[in-house]
């Protein structure tokens, strides 16, 4: 069973009394504590730890699989940087983006003489450089190797890593492994089997956002053994939370510009503006530039060089504002970011929390503002809708299943599928991802599809994939509704935000617009609620099936159901009609 550990002060060592023979690191807990603190201080410059950091380091160095859920900017990477020095063997870090890998390698390169050499392993390398990195991991020259999960589809990569006997297997952005996660990536599904093939080195999973069901799926998918689960809390009290409501599009658009100009004018910059569409980013950036700000837009439709130059300019303090879609996301770490403004609602509280978490990472006051028009939720509902037709899925599954007989030993790529089906690349990629999740196809690093071993028939695969897509749609729609709830609540916004993740804040925060307006009410503490369903209680609904209680208020509870996502229920109706029962 997983062991959940709340964050603890840096002078607390939960493993202090464990005998040395139970310690895979070969040292007593007190010796590990001293070594962890010495390295963190002398090499990384840490005079103290942030909540959860040292607890996670202790668990990893002690040989325990560990899931660390720490807020954005809480120094998750330091956990494996420190732990990697005290373990005997290389450290494999799975990271979803090449840019994010490059950033971590650059940081470690500055410490190479004391922390060990770091290298990337990705599709940008030549075959010779690729081979050289693997050889250097094997002979100990490279201590930290960063790679995308697609690399682990290559048998030669996994074989080379197995021969190197890694001591630590790190999964960054670990919520990507969970179908419940807001940024699920099918290529993360291969990580659990890879861990076992590598001899199950100690596993460290890192994420900034993971509600209890996501945590459970991370543990299951990665095959973690009796893991320590360190949750440092989701609260970022330095970030002020505001929502500004508007009835018409023109007023909303003008408000976005006015607030950004005001923040920059008061010296509270730089900042990020998020827009739901590429066109929106371009328009807002142009309008801000017309008003004298150094502003650029950023989205996935730009060429790679333009995206990289904008990110470089942002990091080098050459811009006041970046206006972006969610493509400006993972790996964007500028501690002095003073505000994040959303011109439209995010697709979920999960995404919103991650996006606003890019502000105030230096611990100084920052602003998270949502400029809200209720009609904009329609765009998010549209994005969350649209499960593919079963016939389309069956056609794709059939083409992949027939590939070997047709002589396509290298699999079927999206280009070939487009020619065969007459459909666009994006829906075909979505169909392949769904079929991979139901074990009908396997996608290699190049995105080509191969029949999975023991794959169901195309008809059965299509039915299962369609059912899975409908499930994802229901959950995604429920997340949009929770975003609406955040935007329209008159209660403390921080209590609402934290409650979404199953964390209770007993008193209004005093640092949101509703607290200032006096509409946020004082509620009993989490332990004082007279409710049969406390937070994190597993429950069963007669129609919606199993779920977990995420938030408790005076007159309502919010439950995350496995099949239908988030639902907010009146407590009186639940009790009077016996709608829920607690599961053992």
Rounded Cα distance between 29 and 20, Å, is 8
Q: Based on the domain organization, do 79 and 217 belong to the same domain? A: yes
What the block records as the tokens of 313 is 């300019």
Q: Are residues 201 and 282 in the same domain?
A: no
Alpha-carbon distance of 335 to 325, in angstroms, equals: 20
Alpha-carbon distance of 471 to 491, in angstroms, equals 30
pLDDT for the residue numbered 442: 85
CA distance 300 to 297: 10
Together in a domain, 246 and 363 = yes
The pLDDT-based confidence of 383 (bands split at 50, 70, 90) is low
- Domain end, chosen from 186, 212, 231, is at 231
Q: What is the mean pLDDT of residues 163-184?
A: 84
My answer on whether 36 and 115 are in the same domain is yes
Neighbours of 77 (CB within 10 A): 19
Using the 3D structure, point to which of 471, 499, 519 is the last residue of a domain: 471
CATH at 246 = 3.40.50.300
Whether 568 maps to a domain, the answer reads yes
The string of pLDDT tens digits covering residues 458-496 is 999 999 999 988 888 888 888 888 898 899 999 999 999
- Give the distance, in angstroms, between the CA of residue 203 and the centroid of all CA atoms in the same chain: 17
What is the secondary structure of 345-414 as a DSSP string? --SSHHHHHHHHTTS-TTSS-EEEEEEE-GGGHHHHHHHH--PPPHHHHHHHHHHHHTTTTTT-TT-B-H
Beta bridge partners of 245: 372
pLDDT of amino acid 306: 93
The pLDDT of residue 525: 47
Within a domain: residue 476? Answer: no
Predicted confidence (pLDDT) at residue 510 exceeds the cutoff of 70: yes
State the pLDDT at residue 17: 38
For residues 95-125, one letter each, b for 16 or more C-beta atoms within 10 angstroms of the residue's C-beta and e for the rest, the string is bbebebbbbbbeebeeeeeebbbbbbbbeee
62 is a domain residue: yes
pLDDT mean over 242-269: 94
How high is the pLDDT of residue 555? 82
**Can you give the CATH number for the domain in which 441 is found?**
1.10.10
Domain closes at, from 180, 206, 231: 231
Residue 482 falls inside a structural domain: no
CA 209 to chain centre: 6
171 plus 51 within the same structural domain = yes
Q: Within a domain: residue 346?
A: yes
Query: Are 120 and 75 found together in one domain?
Result: yes
pLDDT in tens, 91-107: 999 987 777 777 778 87
Q: 41-45, 49-53, 388-392, 504-508: lowest mean pLDDT where?
A: 41-45
> Does 345 share its domain with 458?
no
pLDDT: is 112 or 501 the higher one?
A: 501
User: Which residues partner with 296 through β-bridges?
Assistant: 322
Q: Each residue of 391-407: pLDDT tens digit? A: 999 999 999 999 888 88
Flag whether pLDDT at 25 surpasses 60: no
State residue 200's pLDDT score. 96
- Average confidence (pLDDT) over 67-87: 83
Per the model's pLDDT, the better-predicted residue between 197 and 550 turns out to be 197
Residue of higher predicted confidence among 112 and 247 = 247
The answer to whether the bond into 218 is cis (omega within 30° of 0) is no
Distance CA 30, CA 15 (A): 8
Q: 289 is in which domain, residue-wise?
A: 239-382
pLDDT, tens digit, 9 for 90 and up, residues 139-168: 988 999 999 888 888 889 999 999 999 999
Of 32 and 179, more confident: 32
Average pLDDT of every residue of the chain: 85
User: pLDDT digit string (tens) for 296-351?
Assistant: 999 989 998 999 899 899 999 999 999 999 888 766 778 899 999 999 999 888 88
Predicted local distance difference test score (pLDDT) of residue 102:
78
Q: Is residue 160 part of a domain?
A: yes
pLDDT tier, 4 (very low <50, low <70, confident <90, very high otherwise): low
Is residue 483, in this structure, part of any structural domain at all?
Answer: no
Choice among 1-15, 287-301, 397-411 with the minimum mean pLDDT = 1-15
What is the domain count for the chain?
4
- Average pLDDT of span 502-528: 80
Least confident of 26-35, 290-299, 359-368, 532-541: 26-35
Greater confidence (37 vs 273) lies with 273
Tens of pLDDT, residue by residue over 201-235, are: 999 999 887 777 788 889 999 999 999 999 887 88
Position 21 scores a pLDDT of 39
> Above 60 in pLDDT, residue 526?
no
Residues 61-75 have pLDDT tens digits of 999 999 999 876 667
Closest by CA to 340, choosing from 249, 437, 236, is 236
pLDDT of residue 445: 65
Query: Which pLDDT band, with edges at 50, 70 and 90, does 3 fall under?
Result: low
Tell me the backbone φ, ψ of residue 430, rounded to 5 degrees. Answer: -60, -45
What is the arithmetic mean of pLDDT over 171-191? 79
Identify the pLDDT of residue 537: 86
Instruction: Quote the CA–CA distance of 149 and 135 in Å, as a whole number.
Output: 19
| Same domain (yes/no): 375, 395 | no
> Which has the higher per-residue pLDDT, 336 or 500?
336
Q: Are residues 508 and 562 in the same domain?
A: yes
Give the CATH number for residue 534.
2.40.10
112/184 same-domain check: yes
**pLDDT: which is higher, 18 or 392:** 392
pLDDT of residue 113: 66
In contact, 2 and 226? CB cutoff 8 Å: yes
Domain shared by 135 and 153, yes or no:
yes
d(CA 60, CA 79): 8
- pTM as predicted: 0.77
Residue at 480 is within a domain: no
Q: How far apart are CA 419 and CA 408, in angstroms?
A: 15
Has residue 132 got a pLDDT over 70?
yes
Higher pLDDT, 111 or 517: 517
What's residue 583's pLDDT?
84
CA distance 574 to 541: 10
Structure tokens at 372: 């809200």
Averaged pLDDT for residues 113-118 = 74
Q: Please check whether residues 363 and 416 belong to one and the same domain.
A: no
> Per-residue confidence at 116, pLDDT binned at 50, 70, 90?
confident
């Amino acid at each position: 069973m997983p062991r959940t550990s709340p964050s603890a002060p840096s002078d607390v060592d939960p493993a202090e009394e464990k005998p040395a023979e139970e310690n895979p690191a070969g040292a007593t807990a007190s010796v590990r504590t001293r070594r962890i603190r010495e390295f963190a201080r002398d090499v990384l410059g840490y005079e103290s730890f942030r909540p959860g950091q040292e607890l996670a380091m202790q668990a990893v160095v002690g040989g325990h699989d560990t899931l660390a859920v720490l807020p954005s900017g809480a120094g998750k990477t330091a956990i494996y940087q420190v732990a990697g020095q005290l373990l005997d063997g290389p450290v494999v870090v799975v990271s979803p983006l090449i840019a994010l890998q490059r950033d971590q390698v650059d940081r470690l390169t500055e410490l190479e003489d004391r922390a060990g050499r770091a290298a990337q392993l990705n599709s940008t390398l030549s075959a010779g450089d690729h081979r050289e990195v693997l050889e250097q991991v094997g002979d100990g020259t490279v201590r930290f190797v960063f790679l995308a999960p697609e690399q682990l589809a290559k048998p030669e990569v996994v074989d080379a890593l197995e021969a190197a006997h890694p001591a630590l297997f790190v999964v960054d952005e670990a919520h990507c492994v969970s179908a419940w996660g807001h940024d699920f990536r099918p290529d993360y599904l291969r990580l659990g089997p890879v861990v076992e093939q590598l001899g199950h080195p100690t596993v460290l999973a890192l994420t900034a956002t993971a509600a209890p069901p996501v945590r459970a799926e991370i543990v299951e998918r990665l095959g973690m053994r009796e893991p320590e689960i360190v949750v440092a809390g989701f609260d970022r009290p330095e970030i002020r939370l505001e929502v500004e409501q508007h009835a018409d599009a023109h007023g909303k658009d003008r408000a976005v510009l006015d607030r950004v100009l005001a923040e920059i004018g008061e010296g509270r910059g730089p900042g990020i503006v998020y827009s739901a569409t590429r066109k929106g980013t371009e328009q807002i950036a142009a309008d801000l530039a017309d008003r004298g700000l150094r502003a650029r837009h950023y989205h996935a439709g730009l060429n790679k060089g333009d995206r990289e130059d904008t990110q470089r300019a942002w990091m080098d303090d050459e811009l006041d504002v970046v206006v972006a879609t969610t493509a400006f996301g993972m790996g964007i770490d500028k501690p002095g970011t003073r505000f994040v403004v959303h011109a439209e609602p995010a697709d979920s509280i999960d995404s919103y929390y991650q996006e606003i978490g890019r502000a105030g990472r230096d611990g100084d006051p920052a602003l998270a503002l949502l400029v809200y028009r209720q009609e904009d939720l329609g765009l998010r509902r549209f994005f969350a809708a649209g499960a593919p037709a079963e016939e389309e899925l069956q056609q794709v599954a059939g083409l992949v299943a027939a590939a070997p007989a047709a002589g396509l030993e290298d699999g079927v790529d999206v280009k070939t599928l487009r020619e065969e089906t007459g459909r666009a690349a994006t829906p075909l990629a979505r169909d392949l991802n769904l079929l991979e999740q139901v074990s009908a196809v396997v996608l290699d690093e190049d995105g080509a599809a191969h029949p999975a071993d023991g794959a169901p028939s195309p008809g059965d695969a299509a039915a299962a994939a369609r059912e899975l897509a409908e499930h994802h749609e229901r959950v995604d729609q429920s997340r949009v509704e929770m975003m609406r709830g955040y935007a329209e609540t008159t209660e403390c916004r921080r209590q609402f935000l934290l409650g979404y993740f199953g964390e209770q804040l007993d008193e209004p925060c005093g640092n949101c617009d509703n607290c200032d307006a006096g509409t946020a009410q004082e509620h009993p503490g989490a332990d004082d609620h007279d409710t049969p369903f406390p937070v994190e209680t597993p429950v069963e609904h007669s129609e919606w099936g199993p779920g977990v209680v995420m938030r408790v208020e005076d007159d309502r509870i919010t439950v995350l159901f496995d099949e239908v996502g988030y639902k907010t229920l009146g407590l009186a109706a639940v009790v009077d009609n016996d709608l829920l029962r607690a599961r053992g």
